Each structure stands twice: as C-alpha cells, then as structure tokens.
Structure 1
C-alpha cells in the first residue's frame, strides 16, 4: 500500500536567532561590535531584529554576512525582496488585497455613493 501524497513545497523558515549570532561570529562580528560600527550605543537595537521585524537592523546584519535579509528572514519579505507590512499597515494591506469585487469579506461595499 502506497501512502504517498503530493509533497508540499517546503516553506523556507527564518534562521534561528542563535544561527544568526553564530554566522556573525564566523564573519568576525558580535551584535555589539556591529551596532557600534553603525554608530549605535549598544547592540540591543540590532538584537531586536532577531525576534521581531526591524528592517534597518535586518539590513545591517545581512550586510555584515554578505547576503540579503530575505535569506535570513524569509517570512518577513515578499518573493521580490520587498519588506512585508507589519502592525496596523499589515491589517490595512491584507484588507485591501483580500477584498473581492469592491466588497470586503463582510459584504460591505467600498464603492463611492
């Protein structure tokens, strides 16, 4: 009996924060040293990117590794490399992209009266 089912395309996962730190160490950086190199008083600002979307810090970390931030955090970027909206803008973005034929999912019309 063959229990094979169609394989789903594997979604790329974000790197684990420890993997990002290890890659920085291999490249000769620490979070603190990288932050200071960018004129920050500590590495705490850059370390925020390890746990939440922070495009400026993500770019600085990825540049230190010589790659695009999308390779480290694919869930935070669209396929074309643009940053996905977050917070309230993400709610607005999803509402606009999910609306169908001028009506939202609740059936409310968005047409001008």
Structure 2
C-alpha cells in the first residue's frame, strides 16, 4: 500500500488507485456495482470530483478520500467546492459581453 505523501497537492495517479484495488482482490467496476452504481460510473472519479465515489474507493482501501485525492479536499477533510461548467459560467460570459457593449 502506498504511504500518504507529505505533499498534499499530489493526487494518486489513476493507475496507482486501480492497482491498489486489484491488489486487495477487486475491480473498480465491482465496487461501483456493490454500491448500486452502473459498472462504468465509478470511472468518472478520474474526470471530476465525486465525493461519494471517492469515499467508496477510499473505504475499500482503508484510507480517507483526502489521502488519495488531497487536491479535492480542504484541511478538515471536507470536499472543496468546484465551480461548475454549466449555466453559471455561460451567464458570466454573457454578462461580460453585455458590459463590454
């Protein structure tokens, strides 16, 4: 098992997480299914923060999610809020355009 690094900005590489799960006798897809998700859903953890999926993986590895993804959590272990790429950003761009006009 990988030791938790003192460098809190260094998230584990996806292959390190997958290897750790395999070394404990499971596959990520099996973890997702066991918790009521589609087999492929758990892989979304690589592309965006998803605290519930992170918790499932970390619990299986007997770690905390912030041990694996320190960039996604604050010092108290709470998930950091991420700015969405949805409507708010579109509205921000529209406001900037209207101010420029």
TM-score w.r.t. length of structure 2:
0.71
Q: Gaps (5+ residues) in structure 2?
A: 1-5, 85-101
Structure 1 outlier segments of 4+, above 4 Å: none
Q: Aligned-residue CA RMSD in angstroms?
A: 1.6
Aligned to 2:80: 84
- Comparing both structures, which one devotes a greater share of its residues to helix? 2
Rg larger in structure:
1
Pick from 10, 27, 30 the counterpart of residue 27 of structure 2.
30
Q: How many residues align?
A: 79
- For residues 53 and 41 of structure 1, the distance between their equivalents in structure 2, rounded to whole angstroms, comes to 17
Higher relative contact order (CA 8 A, sep 6+): 2
- For residues 11 and 62 of structure 1, the distance between their equivalents in structure 2, rounded to whole angstroms, comes to 16
Q: Gaps (5+ residues) in structure 1?
A: 1-8, 89-113
SS of the residue corresponding to residue 37 of structure 2 reads coil
- For residues 47 and 12 of structure 2, the distance between their equivalents in structure 1, rounded to whole angstroms, comes to 10
Aligned to 1:51: 47
Compared CA separation, residues 70 and 11, structure 1 to 2 (3 A):
closer
- Is 1:17 matched with 2:14? yes
TM-score w.r.t. length of structure 1:
0.64
